[in-house]
Amino acid sequence: MFSLIKAYSLKNVLSVQAPSLVTALAIAELFYKFGSFLLEAIAFLATWFIMDAILSFVLKSTPKTVESKPTVVD
């Protein structure tokens, strides 16, 4: 896990993982009351995985705007 965390830059972690992490944490805090730390931790990690997958899919399917250079007409 250390090498995985080390592989990403802080900017990447904050811009990509933070929204899915915060969303998963809020969902886990509000809805997961299993009475077992292990079950809640597994459910939280699964929720984080799903939220990250959804966010990645949305970001990849969103068309990126390309700035075009003005053409010069002679």
* Cβ atoms within 10 Å of 15's Cβ, excluding its own: 10
Give the pLDDT score at 65.
66
List Cβ neighbours of 19 (8 Å cut-off, separation of 6 or more). Answer: 51, 55
pTM (2 d.p.): 0.72
Tokens of 36: 């077992």
pLDDT of residue 73: 66
Does residue 69 form part of some domain? Answer: no
The answer as to whether 62 is a domain residue is no
Q: Count structural domains, the chain.
A: 1
32: in domain: yes
Q: Encoding tokens for residue 1?
A: 């896990």
Structural domain boundaries enclosing 43? 2-55
| Contacts with 43 (C-beta within 8 Å, 6 or more apart), sequence order | 28, 32, 34
The residue behind tokens 């830059």 is 9
- Residue 17 counted as domain residue: yes
pLDDT of residue 16: 76
Interval 34-72: pLDDT, tens: 999 999 999 999 999 999 999 889 888 877 666 666 666
**Residue 42 domain-assigned (yes or no):** yes
Contact 47, 24 (CB under 8 A): yes
